[in-house]
Chains A and B, each alone.
Chain A
Amino acid sequence: AQSVTQLGSHVSVSEGALVLLRCNYSSSVPPYLFWYVQYPNQGLQLLLKYTTGATLVKGINGFEAEFKKSETSFHLTKPSAHMSDAAEYFCAVSPQTGANNLFFGTGTRLTVIP
């Protein structure tokens, strides 16, 4: 069974500081991995995804994530936080077989302090 854990339901950073949002998965076979962002009262928007190939994935808005198989992790980073990054971020996994359904973590709310 797929599961994904996001450490820290709330993260606060100062504007210009590094953003690090953690995601670990549990799966016997490495799944496909995704990060989504949700701005207040909106739907989810894909930030980036890892399916195969290069383990460092670049996404929109300056975010990137690195797939580390040995650590079963897919942490999201951004070198310098901007006020507009304040949102909720969801890590999601999808098995490489079957219907490839998406399974989400519980989310991390990012606050950016001016």
Chain B
Amino acid sequence: NAGVTQTPKFQVLKTGQSMTLQCAQDMNHEYMSWYRQDPGMGLRLIHYSVGAGITDQGEVPNGYNVSRSTTEDFPLRLLSAAPSQTSVYFCASRVESGRVYEQYFGPGTRLTVT
């Protein structure tokens, strides 16, 4: 059981390039989400998904696309990278049992856009 995995760990992009951050979980969790972490701003929700085929926007969705074709995978796409997207990106999945749930985070992807 690997939990939540993210690739790559580090990435440098030039402005205007596109890329996909990969996220996978092997815990059969329905809910998955993407956050970005910036100094002094905590973690902000980008997009989330409550199950395969269902996605929705979070607090800061502009410049990012997501899709959820399987329960396991939830990739985050940057179509045209901008320096403002330099950040650390965390993927998470959530287990739910009634009103009790717990979110598991991946190790993060550190992205620099020059």
Contacts and interface: CB of A to CB of B under 8 A. Distances in A.
Contacts, number: 50
A52 B99 contact: yes
B42 A90 contact: yes
Residue of B40, B56, B92, B103 with most partner-chain A CB within 10 A: B103
In the complex, the 4 A-B pairs of residues with the closest C-beta atoms, listed nearest first: A43-B105, A104-B42, A104-B43, A106-B42
Interface string A48-88: 01011000000000000000000000000000000000000
B102 A104 contact: no
Interface size class of A (residues with CB under 8 A): 20 to 34
Interface in B75-114: 90, 92, 99-103, 105-108
Nearest to A52: B99
B13 interface: no
Interface of A: 9, 42-46, 49, 51-52, 90, 92, 96, 99-107
B99 A43 contact: no
Contacts of B35: 104
A43 B43 CA distance: 11
Contacts of A106: 40-42
B45 interface: yes
B31 interface: yes
28 contacts: A9-B40, A43-B106, A43-B107, A43-B108, A44-B90, A44-B92, A45-B105, A46-B102, A46-B103, A49-B102, A51-B99, A52-B99, A90-B42, A90-B43, A96-B99, A100-B101, A101-B33, A101-B45, A102-B43, A102-B92, A103-B45, A103-B59, A104-B35, A104-B42, A105-B42, A106-B41, A107-B40, A107-B42
Nearest to B99: A51
A102 to B, nearest CB: 6
Given A9-B40, A52-B99, A102 B105 contact: no
B97 to A, nearest CB: 11
